[in-house]
Every structure is written in C-alpha cells, then in structure tokens.
Amino acid sequence: MTARDFSFRCLNVDASCSARRSVLQTHHGSVDLPAFMPVGTCGTVKGLTTQMVLATGAQMILGNTYHLALRPGAEIVADLGGLHGFSGWAGPILTDSGGFQIFSLAQNAKINEQAATFRSHIDGRLFELSPERAIEIQELLGSDIAMVLDHVVPLPAPAALVQEACQRTVRWAERCRKANRLATQAQFAIVQGGLDPDQRLACADQLVRLDFEGYAIGGLSVGESADERNRTLDVTCPALPADKPRYLMGVGTPSDILEAISRGVDLFDCVMPTRNGRNAMAFTDGGPVRLRNAAHQRDPRPLEEHCPCPACRHSRAYLRHLFQSGEMLGPILLTAHNLTYYQRLLAESRLAIAAGRFAAFAAEKLAGWARGGETPEDPA
C-alpha cells in the first residue's frame, strides 16, 4: 500500500509540547521535518531560479495541480519529463489536488458527487476535475506526494454544508486511493470539518482507516482566527497516526507555524514569504520590515546581520531604492530573504525540538517579533 521509496521516521518528540522532529523519505530524496515548502505554483517559485531556491535551504517545494493543468497542461509537463524535468527542481515535490483553487480561484465552480466543474480563471475554458483525474494529473506531473481531491468550504459555514463537504471529502479520498497507479508517488488525505471538533474527528477517523501515507489538515487559512485554528489543531492532530506525517495546508505566518509545530504538525506551505517579499515586506527576527518606509532611505544596515541570503549582502537603503524604482531585483531579493528566513526558522525549530526546548524557543521568537517590526501604517 505504501509508495515505493517513501518512509517517515520520527526522531524525537519535544519534552515541552507535542512538537516532533522527523525525516521524510521520498522518491526524490529526504526532507527534514518540520519543514516549510515554498510554493511553486506554475512550475517556478516566483522570482527565483531553482539554484536560488536550493540556496534558501528548501528541500521540498509545492506545485499546483490546478495551475499546471490549465497551463501548460499536465500532458505537456509529462512529455517534458514531469514537473521535475520541466521545472529543473531535482528534489522532492508535493502537488496539491486543485481542491483549494476550485474553491478560491476558479469561475462558476459547481461540485457534485462525480466531480467539480469550473471555468479557467485564465481564459474561461471549461474544466472537469474528478478525484480520479486529480490523481491522474498528479501522476503525469510525477510529484513525490499527491494530495487527494477535497471539498473546501469557506468559513464560517453552516454545519450542514461543513458536514456534506466533509463526507464528500472522505468518499473522494477513497476514490483517489483506488485511482493510484504510480508506485513512487505517496498520497496524503485531507481532513476537513471546518471548526467543528466532531466533524474533524469523524473525518480523521474515516481517512485513517483508508491508510494513506500522510495526512493533511485542510480547510483552514480560509477566514478563521488563529485561536479557532489552534483549537482545531488541538483536536485533529492527536486523531492522526503518530507514525505518519501531518501537513497543515496553506499556513502561515511565522507565529502560526510555531503554534502548529507545538501541536505536532510536520509540514507547511504558504505564499506569504514569497508574496509579501514581492510587496516589499521582509520577515526578520525583530518583526516585519516594510522597505518602502522612508525610514530606510539611508539605512546602511542589512535586513539581518547574520542572514546568508543574497538580499542581506545589501543595505536596507539599496533594497528600498529597488522597490521605489520598480526594479525586479527588489522582489527577487526579498523573496530570497523571506524564504531563507522561513527555512532558518524551521531549521532552528528542529534544533530546539532536538534539544527538548521548543516551547521556550517559540516564546523567544514570539517576543522578538512583538518587540520590533513595522506596521503598514508607517509613513512611506
């Protein structure tokens, strides 16, 4: 049942919380967990070459089934060597199933038991995505980890709708499991259930019985508060097998990630470091730095003294100048910095777990972020 070359090994659980350190082995190499995956939506992490992505410390990236299926098309990617050959990324790749994009991006999305139908946000073409097709596309892409097609609903949502989406997600997960043909591709199921603990537990229980290689917690980062998300993790994580990886989809800020790690989550993806980087916002241990602010006009300091990224070879004044001048290098450098920052945060988290002091580490980080930083309201 388990994909060839795939394994998960827990190295230790922190003494102070549920944080755990582990190693994920995939067909294209191993990943130290907890890990953050940069988002490579269209076969590229926006603004960076694969060499630059590697240099941030990333070991695994995420590709989007929805985007790649629409353009250039999964069959074209397959002809060009799959997503690894196409994009030039030689390491592990996880692909999502398209479920979230159908909910968030597609036009005229209609979902029935058989499949989702929707129009492309690019050119209005009609697409149908069934659980079987979602797996077929991901097998054409050749990712190391495929996600099942799930039914995502916006929050807050009526209980009946949450329950319906939850049950459909379970039925679709079963169809995805049966559709799997690629022996080197692992499948992760996605626990839905909104903010309802009973729904989450019921969904997790049913999915666990289907014996996937890993489990994701989906349907979050869709409008809920951090408290609501954390309570959902408190309920869901313990319901998932201890010997399989746990992936919190689409989350989040540095503090969101530390909160989730402390609850036993192993894997993350989010557009925040790349998207915010393109918009002149840098993550630092002293809190966010907004480089368009006039305060940086003559600042000779780098964003962070000890950061090895290419942005930190320059002054804040230079980085600000790039954004003020509309130069591409601004988004490029800040994307590299933010991804490097996230990878450093995850690497430090793994060290803290190894030392059994993750809770104290997280508290120190949160205090640093709270001390400094700039708000969007700072004069620009």
| Residues identified as active-site | 96, 269
User: Is 325 among the residues that bind a copy of itself (CB under 8 A)?
Assistant: yes
Site residues for a copy of itself, window 60-119 (CB under 8 A)?
Answer: 67, 71-72, 76, 79-81, 86-88
What DSSP letter does each residue of 308-363 carry, written as one string?
-SGGGGS-HHHHHHHHHTT-THHHHHHHHHHHHHHHHHHHHHHHHHHTT-HHHHHH
Q: Measure Cα distances from 49 to 40, 82, 360 in Å.
A: 11, 18, 36
Nearest alpha carbon to residue 180 among 375, 360, 369, 2: 2
Which residue from 287, 310, 356, 373 is in contact with a copy of itself, where contact means CB under 8 A? 310
Interface with a copy of itself (CB under 8 A), residue total 38
The secondary structure of the chain in percent helix, strand, coil, rounded to multiples of 5, reads: 40, 15, 40
Question: Which of 130/143 has CB closer to a copy of itself?
Answer: 143
Nearest alpha carbon to residue 345 among 324, 327, 369: 369
* Amino acid in the structure at residue 161: L
Question: Which of 35/70 has CB closer to a copy of itself?
Answer: 70
The bridge status of strand 61-63 relative to strand 281-282 is: unpaired
What DSSP letter does each residue of 352-375 carry, written as one string?
HHHTT-HHHHHHHHHHHHHHS---
User: Is 124 among the residues that bind a copy of itself (CB under 8 A)?
Assistant: no
Which residue from 321, 348, 357, 373 is in contact with a copy of itself, where contact means CB under 8 A? 321
Give the shortest CB-352-to-a copy of itself separation in angstroms: 32
Site residues for a copy of itself, window 223-282 (CB under 8 A)?
Answer: none
Give the shortest CB-81-to-a copy of itself separation in angstroms: 8
Give the shortest CB-232-to-a copy of itself separation in angstroms: 34
User: Is 46 among the residues that bind a copy of itself (CB under 8 A)?
Assistant: yes
Q: Are 25 and 367 within 8 A, CB to CB?
A: no
- Binding residues for a copy of itself, rule: CB under 8 A, are 42-44, 46-51, 67, 71-72, 76, 79-81, 86-88, 297-298, 300, 310, 313-315, 317-318, 321-322, 324-325, 327-329, 331-333
